[in-house]
Amino acid sequence: MARLSKFPAKAAALNSFYLLTGAGAATILTAHLLNPNYLTTSPVVTPSDLKAVLNGVVRSSRAVRTIASSVVDYKYSLHGLSVDSDEYSRVLSEVHLRSAKRVRNLCEANKGFYVKAAQFAAAMRKIPKEYSLALSPLQDKAVPYLFDEIKDVLISNLGPNLSDIFLSLDEQPIAAASIAQVHRAVLKNKQEVAVKVQYPRLEQQMRFDLATMSFLSKSVSLLFPEYRFQWMISEFTKNIAMELDFNQEAKNSERTARNFKYNNLVKVPYVYWDFTTNQVLTMQFCSGGKVDDLDQLKKMDISPTMVAKALAEVFAEMIFVHGFLHGDPHPGNILVSPEGRNGFSLVLLDHGVYKEFDEKFRQSYCQLWKALIYLDSNKILQFGEQYGVGKYARYFPLIFTGRTIDSKSALGEAMSVDEKKNLRQELKSLKVDDFSSFMESVPSEFLTLLRTDELLKSLVSKLGSSQQIRLLSYAKYALRGLSPKLNPENVSLVKVMLSRIQMSIPYIQLRFVLVILELLSLIKAMKLSVRKNFRGMVISVNYLLVNFLRQIYVFGT
């Protein structure tokens, strides 16, 4: 943890509290009312506008009060403790937990963008574990709006006569999120659809909430210079702007469908443009269970390991080949359908947040992963300079593959006891300021990649699969992403097949290297067990043979 500044006395802490609570709401309200578009877009203040302003002030004040309470808690609780002491670490963890619970209560009270922000932060997994654990339950927590309010949005977007469009429209939503909810319906042509409807008055609410978050982030940075989260607010603001534009979401959906046109494992709902606007998205209804619902997978007789492999490969292809990445792969946005040539298919939903990589970044990221796979430390450090993170590049292998830059462990294997011990010692020298500097330095593309990778890690774990599945998928598609792209529609089938064989050679070589590394690691483990007892040797030999045969079998997959 970072070394915090020497804490001021009680009066100064109280001053911080009053500064935040007193000035906070006024600053945010002024920022809203002095918005250059406010007077031109709203020359007459309606009761709805006034209600939105008052609601914004209440929400903002609640947020300011919560963060101010946590600031005081940190300053009082840690005052006088030595940063290097065990007592400091213990108390810090306790304060983290109290503060995380306050933030969770705030998000549950304010709902909307606050829940979305909590989901965003928790998925990054780059915040203290106390916060991650406290905020993670908010991923599936959203209270739907009453249908009367949803109906008003539908009428304002699709016209007054909804019966001219829908044969039926269920008033009870089938899904509710932080900015929209989804209703099942049947169109006049008898097509079953899912209608995603944005909650009313979100743009006004967004101005207040984002102004509040930015104000609080800057205030915390002034009081605790090591803790800088403006990078997270900036990225969250970009994501929210994308998510509020349902027309753009529909375009993203169609582009993803085109990218996976020849992949029978992926299904993307068809968009009905005649009934789609900036606030309403009408798409094909697709059934299926949540990707991490093991009971449902068992009922459908679908292997969780095969689902994990398919999931890893689909997102690896997005990252390394398409350069167009779905930025929010949490379980509610991916369904597993029993329909498909291989016994199942993945249904990709919610295409609001995407990150497009330019060709230069896509190619360099493929090269970085090639270096990570082979643990080429010189290359990894070179990419650190290229991405502007300097010395922090030595942690790329740890972040993405779970190995240190000088690790002897095979890809996907746990670090040795000595490696873990050395890593703990090294991490003790890092401060929160180092973390802030790293997150501020990396390209914005990295923030989406980090968040997506963390969500994928979590899903693979929930499916009971080894992280090696994800890492080998990344390896496969990173190498494929470095090969010249071919369009099957413009070249002969023979040329496409030859190209794919050529792309497979480096991957097969990589798999062979990984098998050898794992064999060497297992032989080493076997030698250690022989020293303990003969039974241990037999178990190790059996495991070695079985695992070797398994690796040979999966070479071509």
Which residue type, as a one-letter code, is found at position 230?
Answer: Q
Phi, psi of 82 (to 5 degrees): -75, 130
- Alpha-carbon distance 403 to 546, whole Å? 25
CB 404 within 8 A of CB 385: no
Q: Nearest to residue 124, comparing CAs of 446, 393, 468?
A: 446
Q: Which amino acid would we find at residue 430?
A: L
Is 274 noted as a catalytic residue in this protein? no
Residue 308 contacts residue 324 (beta carbons within 8 Å): no
DSSP symbols for 324-354: EEES---GGGEEEES-STTS-EEEE-----E
Of 209, 292, 328, 453, catalytic:
328
SS3 state at 504: helix
At residue 427's C-alpha, the angle toward residues 421 and 432, to 5°, is 160
Q: Does residue 196 sit in helix, strand or coil?
A: strand
Decide: 170 and 184 in contact? Cβ < 8 Å: yes
> Which one-letter DSSP state was computed for residue 169?
E
Report yes or no: 129 and 119 within 8 Å, Cβ to Cβ.
no
Other CB atoms closer than 10 Å to residue 11's CB: what's the count? 8
Polymer length of the chain: 557
Would you call 225 helix, strand, or coil by DSSP? coil
User: Which residues participate in catalysis according to the annotation?
Assistant: 328
